[in-house]
Structure 1
Amino acid sequence: MARWSERVVVLTGATDGLGRALAGRLATDPQIRLVLHGRDPDRLAGLRRELADRPARVDTVRADLADLTQVRRLADDVAAITDRIDVLVNNAGVGAGEPDGTTRRLTVDGNELRFAVNYLAPFALTQRLLPLLGANGPARIVNVASIGQAPIAFDDLTLARDYSGVRAYGQSKLALITYGFSLAARLDPARVTVNSLHPATFMPTKMVLDSVGYSIDSLETGLDATDRLVRGPALDGITGRFYDRTAEARALPDAYDPEIRERLWRISEQLT
């Protein structure tokens, strides 16, 4: 029987970097039940072994977020595990360079890879999981975004012209923040809050070290900033914000434009 004092936290991209560190910290809390997502079954199994002696209950779910069919199945798998979600952390992502390369790649659905994984997947997953969010009291959605943003090329979303990994990454992260603002405006903050953050700059994760070759901020900096949005009592009822680490910040102006928000929402529904 479920322990009703548990808080159910669903975390994507939990097998590496910030996600793995966050899973490890949250797993020390006996009142948390973790549903951890990853793409590689061996790494998910290794994560379960690593967390086996922690007091939190842990379930794992697998999906390749570049494939929207698998994203939809992921939502179904989560719903089969729990009938409520207290926190959804959209953390999984593809960086601007290695190990995923800097050349333009399309997914099986015909979307640009970074836009698909960093934005369309969390959009589709969140929308499908909304009925479970707030089912057991106030819930939170946390989008791990970036201060590295670029305008959304609505007339060329796959970036067939002038492609770069940095531009694709920036477009996907601005889209995620913009969606967060739009969703926050549609939801009752007493039921579900939606906030996005830039957790830290160039943390020493595999993605950063493979791509950039050096780090600036510590992993602990990003971990503390993200955990604050997950569990910090000061964030109760706070919604529709973007944070640079722990300080409230401004995204690119496009994220606040009602016409751009509505256009992105419509296109996202069509693409997913």
Structure 2
Amino acid sequence: MSTVLLTGSTSGLGRRLAFELARAGHVVVVHGRDGHRTARLAAEIDDAGGEADAVVADLSSLAEVRALGVRVAAAHPDLDVLVNNAGVGFGAPGAGREESADGHELRMAVNYLAPVALTRALLPVLRKNAPARIVNVGSTGQVPVDLDDIEFTSGYVGVEAYRRSKFALAVHTFALADELAGSGVSVNVVHPATYMDTSLVRDAGVSPLSTVEEGTAAVLALAATDTGLHHNGTYFDGTAPSRAHPEAYDPGVRRRLLSATDRMLTS
């Protein structure tokens, strides 16, 4: 059985994933931003016969993301699965641009920079526990990042900001897969399901088109079955291998985005 860190565990897809992973016998390190809700989730999983540990961090703060990585690595040296599930959605219709604690555009910060920073912090323990896997929860709604305005300071639209962040996450996944080739650690990115029935979708004024159960099956296939070990650097649409946005495979785009990412993570 695996030990799994699952970010964004307290609602929607994350909550369902946490219970399913625990039901299958895995130790689940559940993450949330609210300490009370996260502790309550861990207690509910324990009461249902599973094993869970609660960790709290605001993923809009890179300092908290890095501290989370240090804390989990120390408390769970057997960690072998990381699921980067937490995310910020489109926002309410007409909502304006928001910034993270570090001054980055909020969706880029939480949906992209946080998974990158957390993954980097946990790679040593994942490498030690190979075979291990990283699952990035992405989206089919990808829009190439404007590399001349990566912070989206001009013409901001929440839907596009979300899609830019998910494009960036796909590019990061493919770059990391190349880095990890032969290490025993795999990394894949998955679009779980289209407009699942979650608060993230409803708050954006969008009518749900699929169920949380559908999305859960897609993530579990990578996090808890051999599929996640047999693939590395693959984009999945649901449970099927597919193709991300064509520009996500462009070497020039990759170089420029990763360079900008390093600057953002150290600024």
* TM-score after normalising by structure 2: 0.95
The aligned residue for residue 86 of structure 1 is 80
Work out the CA distance in 2 between the residues paired with 1:17 and 1:81. 26
Return closer, same or farther for 1:189/1:56 CA change in 2, 3 Å cut-off: farther
| Deviation digits for residues 98-139 of structure 1 (CA, Å, limit 9, x no counterpart) | 39x731011221100000000000000001110011322300
| Preserved CA contact (<8 Å) 1:29 1:55 | no
Count of residues paired in the alignment: 265
The aligned residue for residue 3 of structure 1 is none
The aligned residue for residue 118 of structure 1 is 111
The aligned residue for residue 30 of structure 2 is 36
Work out the CA distance in 1 between the residues paired with 2:143 and 2:89. 14
* TM-score after normalising by structure 1: 0.93
Which structure's residues are more often helix, by fraction? 2
| Preserved CA contact (<8 Å) 2:193 2:210 | yes
Once the two structures are TM-superposed, the CA of residue 166 in structure 1 deviates from its matched residue by 0.8
| Preserved CA contact (<8 Å) 1:199 1:222 | yes
Work out the CA distance in 2 between the residues paired with 1:135 and 1:66. 28
Return closer, same or farther for 1:194/1:45 CA change in 2, 3 Å cut-off: same
The aligned residue for residue 240 of structure 1 is 233
Return closer, same or farther for 1:188/1:165 CA change in 2, 3 Å cut-off: same
The aligned residue for residue 5 of structure 2 is 10
| Preserved CA contact (<8 Å) 2:144 2:248 | no
Work out the CA distance in 2 between the residues paired with 1:248 and 1:188. 18
User: Any residues of structure 2 matched to 1:89-168 within 5 Å, and which?
Assistant: 89-98=83-92, 102-168=95-161
Q: For 1:72, what is the secondary structure of its paired residue?
A: helix
The aligned residue for residue 69 of structure 2 is 75
| Preserved CA contact (<8 Å) 1:65 1:121 | yes
Once the two structures are TM-superposed, the CA of residue 53 in structure 1 deviates from its matched residue by 2.1
Alignment pair present for 1:19 and 2:7 = no
Deviates more, 1:54-63 or 1:222-231: 54-63
The aligned residue for residue 270 of structure 1 is 263
The aligned residue for residue 253 of structure 2 is 260
Give the alignment partner of residue 188 of structure 2, picking from 179, 186, 195: 195
Alignment pair present for 1:59 and 2:53 = yes
Give the alignment partner of residue 208 of structure 2, picking from 199, 204, 215: 215
Once the two structures are TM-superposed, the CA of residue 271 in structure 1 deviates from its matched residue by 1.2
Work out the CA distance in 2 between the residues paired with 1:266 and 1:66. 20
| Deviation digits for residues 214-245 of structure 1 (CA, Å, limit 9, x no counterpart) | 21011111000110011122332310100111
State the one-letter code of the partner of 2:38: L
Alignment RMSD (CA, Å): 1.5
| Preserved CA contact (<8 Å) 2:4 2:81 | yes
State the one-letter code of the partner of 2:5: V
Work out the CA distance in 1 between the residues paired with 2:92 and 2:131. 38
Once the two structures are TM-superposed, the CA of residue 169 in structure 1 deviates from its matched residue by 0.3
Work out the CA distance in 2 between the residues paired with 1:192 and 1:235. 10
Once the two structures are TM-superposed, the CA of residue 79 in structure 1 deviates from its matched residue by 1.4
Which ranges in structure 2 are unaligned for 5 or more consecutive residues?
A: none
State the one-letter code of the partner of 1:23: A
Q: Percent identity?
A: 47
| Preserved CA contact (<8 Å) 2:7 2:86 | yes
Work out the CA distance in 1 between the residues paired with 2:104 and 2:229. 36
The aligned residue for residue 228 of structure 1 is 221
State the one-letter code of the partner of 1:79: A
Q: For 2:156, what is the secondary structure of its paired residue?
A: coil
